[in-house]
Structure 1
Amino acid sequence: MLIREATTEDWPAIWPFFHEIVAAGETFTYPLHLSETEALDWWLLKPPNRTVVAVDDEGGVLGTAKMNNNHMGNGSHIASASYMVDPRHSGQGVGRALCVYTIDWARAAGFRAMQFNAVVEGNDAAVGLYRSLGFDVLGTLPEGFNHPTKGFVGLHIMHRPL
Structure 2
Amino acid sequence: MLIREATADDWPAIWPFFRRIVAAGETFTYPTGLAQEEARGWWLLAAPDRTVVAVDGSGTVLGTAKMNRNQQGNGSHVASASYLVDPEHGGRGVGRALCTHTLEWARAAGFRSMQFNAVVETNEHAVKLYRSLGFEVVGTVPEGFRHPTLGYVGLHVMHRAL
TM norm. shorter chain > 0.5: yes
User: What residue is the counterpart of 2:131 in the other structure?
Assistant: 131
User: What residue is the counterpart of 1:24 in the other structure?
Assistant: 24
Aligned length: 162
User: What residue is the counterpart of 2:147 in the other structure?
Assistant: 147
User: What residue is the counterpart of 1:68 in the other structure?
Assistant: 68
Structure 2: 5+ residue runs without aligned partners? Answer: none
| Pair 1:45-2:45 in alignment | yes
| Pair 1:10-2:22 in alignment | no
Residue by residue over 1:105-126, the C-alpha shift from the partner in whole angstroms, topping out at 9 and shown as x without a partner, is 0000000000000000111000
The CA RMSD over aligned residues, in Å, is 0.3
SS at match of 1:22: helix
CA distance in 1, matches of 2:128, 2:89: 18
Identity score, percent: 74
> What's the TM-score, normalizing by structure 2?
1.00
The residue identity in structure 2 corresponding to 1:74 is N
SS at match of 2:79: strand
Alignment of 1:100-111 (within 5 A): 100-111=100-111
Residue by residue over 1:83-117, the C-alpha shift from the partner in whole angstroms, topping out at 9 and shown as x without a partner, is 00000001000000000000000000000000000
CA distance in 1, matches of 2:110, 2:134: 18
Deviation at 1:80, TM superposition (A): 0.1
Structure 1: 5+ residue runs without aligned partners? Answer: none
> What's the TM-score, normalizing by structure 1?
1.00
